[in-house]
Every structure is written in C-alpha cells, then in structure tokens.
Amino acid sequence: MSEMIAINIDGRDVSVPKGTTIFDAARMNGIAIPTLCHQQNQTPVGVCRVCVVDVGARVYAASCIRECEPGMKVKTDTPAVVKARTTLVEMLMSDHPTPCARQENSGDCELETMAKAAGVAAPRFARRLSPRGRDDSSLSIAVDHEACILCDRCIRGCDEVKKNNVIGRSGRGYTAHIGFDLDLPMGSSTCVSCGECMVSCPTGALTNKRVVDAALDGEKLDPEWILQLPVFKGVSGTFLELNRSSVVKREIAPGEVICREGEFGSTAFYILEGTVEVYITSPIAHVQQQDTPGGWFSRIRSTLSPRRTHTRAEESGRKYIPIDGPVDLPYDKPLAELTAGDLFGEMTCMSFNPRSATVRAKTRVVVLEMLRNVLDILQKNKTFRADLDRKYRQRALETHIRSVPEFAAMPAEFIAYLRDRVELIRYSPGEVIVRQGDAADAFYLVRMGFVKVSERHPGGDIVLTYLGRGSYFGEMGLLGGGIRTATCTALDHVDVVKIAAEDFGLMLSRFPSIREGLERVARERKEMNRRRVAQTEHVPIGEFLNQGLMEAQSLLLLDLEKCTRCDQCVKACADAHDGVTRLVREGLRFDKYLVATSCRSCRDPLCMVGCPVGSIRRRNSMEIIIEDWCVGCGLCVRNCPYGNLNLHPFATEVADPANPSRMIAGTKKKATGCDLCMEQAEPSCVYACPHAAAHRVEPLTFFGGMLGIEKRSPQGSTAETSK
C-alpha cells in the first residue's frame, strides 16, 4: 500500500496517496478545479494554467501537475485565484473565434462555456495579427487553427491514447500551432482519422465534418457491431458514433444490380459476403446511326472511303479496360467477379466520379455501403490498407501491369519478382508526386485517380496531359539523363504503383522489347511536349484569349466569306463517323472565321479529367479520342468548356426495368467528339468542302500575322493541322 500524506484543501483536511496531484486530490474529495488542457486519461502537462491554485508559494501552481506535499495548504477559489484564472481565460478568448465551430454546432466549447461562467464578455486584449488559418484537407476532420488554444490534448490523444504519433507542435511564439507529421496538411499526413484528437479537443479546433444528406438505404449499424469487423479494427468508436448514418449494411438478392455504369454516386461498397459480377453493358463499338443503309450503295461507299471502322492501330495492344475496382476488365470480354473482402466504387466515393461499371449480385451478397468519411478512415486504417494492398498484389498487379501495352508481354516470373518489391503509395489531391528537375528514382503506374503532368516555363506551367488508371509516368527521366522532365501532381485521390529505378533498370536490361516500346513512347511524348511548348511560346491578345483560342491546338475554322452554308462539311463528318456528326456549324466568330463547334484538342484537356473508365484520352499526335468502351456517363461532355463533345444515343439492349435479368431493346448513350479523322490524310470536313472554306489549323500559327505575333510554327508543321 502506498504512503498517504495529509494536506488541506480549502480548509478541509484530506489524506491522499503520495504522488497525487493537487487536481486529483481535490477531485477525489469533491472539489472541482476548472481546467482546459487536462484530461484524466492523459498525462498532465500544465500548459493552459487555468487550474492554478494558491499553495502559499510566491506564484500560483498548476494543480494538474503539482504533486501534493505533506502539510500543504491549498486554496482553490480565493478571489485572487479566481481573478488570475479569469484573466487567463480572457487572454485565451482574445484569440479564439466566437462562436467556434463546436460552440455553434453543439454549444459545448469548453473555453467559451468557461468564459461565459466567468463573466468574460468581450476580451480587453487585441487579437493576434497573424491568422493561423484553417486546414480542410482531411475528409473527416476539420482543423481550425484559429480556435486552437494549444492545450496539447489532441497531441496526447494521438500519441498516448492511440499511439499514432502524427500530431505535434510546430512553430514558436505567435506562429506556434499543432502540426501533422512534418507540418503537412492533415489530409496529406499519415493521420488515420481515428477521431481521437477530435474527441480530445476542448474547442472547435478539431471537429467532425458532417456529411450532408447522409441518409443511405440499408440497415443502420451499431458502432459496437461495426468495430467487431476485422476491417474496422483500430477505428475510433467515437468517430463511428458520430458518423453512424454514413455506413449501412445491405443484403442484395442474386441478380439485383448494386450500381450501374455512368451513374453518379457518392458511396463505396465493401463486400462482406457473396460474389458480385462486374461488367460493362455498353457495347464496345463506334456510335452509329440506326438507319445506316446496308445495300450495295453503302458497300461502294465503304470501298471508296478507306476508313477502318471499329479498330484503331494502337487498340490492338489493349487487353484491359480500367475500372473503379480492384480488377481491370478484359477488353474482349469485359466481365469480372469480386468476392468477400473486396472494395469497389472508391473513385466514385472519393472524387464523385461516375460509376465505371455495372455491378450485379451473383449470389446473395452482403455489403457495407459507406460515404467518403467512413471510406477515408478505412483507407487510412493500417490493417485495412495492408489487406487491400495484399489483395492487389496477389490478384490485380499482374493484370494492371499487363494492361499497359508496352508491358503486355512481360513474363509472369518477373511480375512475381516485382510483386513484393513495388511500393503502393497514395497521394492526396494537389500533392506533388514527382517534381521537374529532381533526380529520377522510380517509375510509376497509375492505379487510381488522375495525375496532371505539367512542365515549368517562364510565365507559368504548361499542362502536358492528364494520366488516369492504366497510364504510367517517370520513364522519361529514367531513360534520359536521370532528371525528371516534368512535374506530376495528384489531381484527386491518386494511388500509384512505384517501381524503383533499380527494378526498372533490371526490367529494361532483361527485356529489350519492353525497353524499345518505352523508348518509343518516351520519344513520342518528348516530341509532343516540344510541339506543345513551341505553340505556347507566343503571347496573343484580346478576343483571341477571351474565346479560349489560345487554349486550342487545332481549330476547325469556316471562312464566312467563302462558305455558302451548303453543310457539306457536316454531311462529310456524319458520313465519316457512321452517320453521327462530330461538328456543329455554329459557334463564335473570330475575324471572318466561324470557329465551328468541334473538338479543339485543348492544351489543357479538362474533358479527360475524371473519366471513370479512361476511355477519353489524348494520342501522342495531340487529338483527343473517345474509345469504344465509353460508358456514356457524360462527364467529359460536362467538362468541355466549349460544348464540343456530345452524348449520342444508339440502339442496344438494356435491362428491363420491370425484370432486371431480362434484356430488352433500348438506347444508350456514348460520348462523341472530333477525332480529326486520324486515319485519313485530312479531316473529312475539310476534304469535302467544295468552296475551300473549311480549315483545320493550329490557331497561333494561322492567326499569327493577324495578331501581330511572329510566326514561329513548330518544325515540320504548317498552319493547317498536320498529322
């Protein structure tokens, strides 16, 4: 039994074990001492000083850290102590936004409650001059540094209670604030969103981000039940309690569709039991008119118009279609199965992208459907993450690597060699993955999300392209001088497979065909980048900028002095694309030219961002093409700032709404856009214009003289778009 000591608190003689703090001694004897920085489950640190008491010494003591001494006489509520405490609260309140988020939401900000009780109305002290700002980078926790009183409760919660060691102090004096890892934004840090900091925080500095309209169909779950699931091991029960409407359990009968391709959604699914089928219902085909003539006339037409329909040269190497799930779908038969333990719909949930595939229950299926705040926590949960990564390495890495045409022939044994050597890394939106000028130390395959590739130039960055799932980057630096030639930034939540430079080098030395393929792609990318940069080194003006013509790489212009409005261009376009025109003879005018509504092959192709199946992409020869596996979600159409992409209906079979297992005749939509008739020497619209009024041009070169800028057309190209 420990030694007992006798002390006097507010005139009462009490006996407490040796080593007890004054704060605990008072509490054990029913005397409440106010505090902000101290919690019973944390080591006391005495930083707020609100718990000061008079122990008869020269200065007041912080009761939470001062141990009792034999014969000590403690006074907790003398007018002088109360006055000192009030002054401290007043000083803390002077920097505290009133009301803070917590006070506004639930009215239980401890500081504001204490200030109100102490009669602190308007602080006499001036606010800090340098605001500390907010951090909204985390999906589940909002950080308001302004409301933080630096009590360190969150730090101790993270370090001592949850042992995550993410939060710490950063800065000094007025710049002091809580920081995550090496002072990163919370969303980019190793924070696992356990919620302990939020629970510990006495003010509105760390608050739960509530999800609007979180009502999901399905069985609402008790947090206790959820915590029993292995995938939720380590997740904060408090957090689940706060977000209990953000995850539901659903039982799905065989044949029932869980989600459909092209639909917008905001949830992800984790399979607890059963098997689901993942497939694309949109036929892999060009969009064409239903009434395309099929007689001898059309046969003559086909013979004389040498357009190879339904296939493109580079498509022959494609074996998989990327989707928002742990597997890719085989190109020739886009169907796969997912079973218990698989997660799908991540991109839809995290980035609100359209669904990339249709998912139907093959057997009786039990799934957890969750919103992004719960998914975010799961993804940051080390156990869950490790499990997902293990499954990815076992099941999906091989098909993912083979989905890159250049790697399609890679032997299975080398993929097995890579399996445990590659790193699986996640990046938050805006995070730089590789930076131009840095040493090239790895090769990256995009596993999920979109990566922006940009090059630094005087006057700003030039966006070279966007890369989605199935694309890769980093080869130019490794194949070249070992220096990164561009900056790659995560546009949304991006997962990459990182192959270290030494493994990449080993691969190249062992497989010369892969080296040749990568070198060819690197050359093409280099040439494309050079052309794009050469085009952008002009500074045009006025209306040219206003109409976004500066952004265009290729414009379809109609000379209005020559055009007789005969619509031969439109007819030719329709004839060249199975009856579906890709241009509308309307748009803004620039000088005597009509800028027709037709794809401009923009330098910054916003249309490519977010495509759930990666079917819209830019070829190295700069045109934007929409591949045949488009699922018709319409995101690219909405993203195009110039209205140059369209959704076009075509006849196919669709599920009967009354009986989903039965297929009936119906229509679906696919996006269409000008592909510059890339299989021809000249776009059909230009070729067919009888009046020499239609031109496909590089705008800066074509209008160079008019704009008073020196014509510096890229080597080998002319004003008319060359291919």
Q: Is 590 helix (H, G, I), strand (E, B) or coil?
A: strand
Q: In this complex, which beta carbon is closest to another protein, that of residue 562 or of residue 711? A: 562
- Identity of residue 308: R
Q: In this complex, which beta carbon is closest to another protein, that of residue 432 or of residue 692? A: 692
- Minimum CB separation of residue 679 from another protein in Å reads 11
- Minimum CB separation of residue 281 from another protein in Å reads 30
Q: In this complex, which beta carbon is closest to another protein, that of residue 263 or of residue 543? A: 543
Q: In this complex, which beta carbon is closest to another protein, that of residue 594 or of residue 633? A: 594
CB 246 within 8 A of CB 235: no
- Minimum CB separation of residue 496 from another protein in Å reads 43
Q: In this complex, which beta carbon is closest to another protein, that of residue 342 or of residue 578? A: 578
Beta strand 268-273 pairing with 365-370: antiparallel
Q: In this complex, which beta carbon is closest to another protein, that of residue 155 or of residue 689? A: 689
Q: Which two tokens stand for residue 171?
A: 């800065």
Segment holding 8, helix H or strand E: strand 4-9
Q: In this complex, which beta carbon is closest to another protein, that of residue 421 or of residue 562? A: 562
Q: In this complex, which beta carbon is closest to another protein, that of residue 102 or of residue 695? A: 695
- Minimum CB separation of residue 645 from another protein in Å reads 18
CB 64 within 8 A of CB 46: yes
Q: In this complex, which beta carbon is closest to another protein, that of residue 226 or of residue 697? A: 697
CB 369 within 8 A of CB 628: no
Handedness of CA 255, 257, 258, 262 (dihedral sign): positive
Q: In this complex, which beta carbon is closest to another protein, that of residue 381 or of residue 581? A: 581
Classify burial at 156, counting beta carbons within 10 Å of its beta carbon; exposed 0-12, middle 13-18, buried 19 or more.
buried
- Minimum CB separation of residue 668 from another protein in Å reads 24
Q: In this complex, which beta carbon is closest to another protein, that of residue 30 or of residue 306? A: 306
Residues forming contacts to another protein in the complex (CB under 8 A) are 301, 304-307, 560-566, 568, 571-572, 575-576, 584-586, 589, 592, 680, 682, 684, 687-692
- Minimum CB separation of residue 308 from another protein in Å reads 13
Q: In this complex, which beta carbon is closest to another protein, that of residue 175 or of residue 302? A: 302
> Biggest alpha carbon distance in the chain?
113
- Minimum CB separation of residue 284 from another protein in Å reads 24
Q: Which two tokens stand for residue 133?
A: 């700002």
Query: What torsion, rounded to 10 degrees, do the Cα atoms 233, 238, 243, 245 define?
Result: 80
Nearest in space to 144 (alpha carbons), one of 153, 156, 136: 136
- Minimum CB separation of residue 568 from another protein in Å reads 6
- Minimum CB separation of residue 589 from another protein in Å reads 7
Segment holding 636, helix H or strand E: helix 635-639
Residues 6+ apart with CB under 8 A from 95: 127, 128, 146, 149
- Identity of residue 667: T
- Minimum CB separation of residue 124 from another protein in Å reads 50
Residues 6+ apart with CB under 8 A from 706: 591
- Minimum CB separation of residue 591 from another protein in Å reads 10
- Minimum CB separation of residue 654 from another protein in Å reads 23
Classify burial at 235, counting beta carbons within 10 Å of its beta carbon; exposed 0-12, middle 13-18, buried 19 or more.
buried
Q: In this complex, which beta carbon is closest to another protein, that of residue 162 or of residue 585? A: 585
Q: In this complex, which beta carbon is closest to another protein, that of residue 263 or of residue 567? A: 567
Q: In this complex, which beta carbon is closest to another protein, that of residue 659 or of residue 718? A: 718
CB 265 within 8 A of CB 348: yes
Q: Which two tokens stand for residue 4?
A: 């007992």
Residues 6+ apart with CB under 8 A from 717: 531, 698, 701
Q: Is 650 helix (H, G, I), strand (E, B) or coil?
A: strand
- Minimum CB separation of residue 547 from another protein in Å reads 15
Handedness of CA 600, 604, 608, 614 (dihedral sign): positive
Q: In this complex, which beta carbon is closest to another protein, that of residue 539 or of residue 560? A: 560
| C-alpha to C-alpha distance for 25 and 21, rounded to whole angstroms | 6
Nearest in space to 490 (alpha carbons), one of 475, 473, 502: 473
Looking at the DSSP bridge assignments, the partners of residue 503 are: none
- Identity of residue 633: C
| C-alpha to C-alpha distance for 158 and 141, rounded to whole angstroms | 14
CB 611 within 8 A of CB 635: yes
- Minimum CB separation of residue 685 from another protein in Å reads 9
Q: Which two tokens stand for residue 315?
A: 């498509």
Provide, for the chain, the percentages of residues in helix, strand and coil under a 3-state DSSP scheme, each rounded to the nearest 5.
30, 25, 45
- Minimum CB separation of residue 580 from another protein in Å reads 13
Looking at the DSSP bridge assignments, the partners of residue 358 are: 279
Q: In this complex, which beta carbon is closest to another protein, that of residue 63 or of residue 684? A: 684
Q: In this complex, which beta carbon is closest to another protein, that of residue 6 or of residue 300? A: 300
| C-alpha to C-alpha distance for 483 and 439, rounded to whole angstroms | 5
| C-alpha to C-alpha distance for 587 and 602, rounded to whole angstroms | 16
- Minimum CB separation of residue 585 from another protein in Å reads 6
Nearest in space to 684 (alpha carbons), one of 549, 560, 581, 588: 581
Classify burial at 299, counting beta carbons within 10 Å of its beta carbon; exposed 0-12, middle 13-18, buried 19 or more.
exposed
Q: Which two tokens stand for residue 2?
A: 């420990």
- Minimum CB separation of residue 586 from another protein in Å reads 5
Query: What torsion, rounded to 10 degrees, do the Cα atoms 179, 182, 183, 188 define?
Result: -100
Beta strand 268-273 pairing with 343-344: antiparallel
Classify burial at 659, counting beta carbons within 10 Å of its beta carbon; exposed 0-12, middle 13-18, buried 19 or more.
exposed
- Minimum CB separation of residue 598 from another protein in Å reads 14
Instruction: Please state, in angstroms and as integers, the Cα–Cα distance from residue 263 to each residue in 163, 214, 631, following that order.
Output: 41, 18, 10
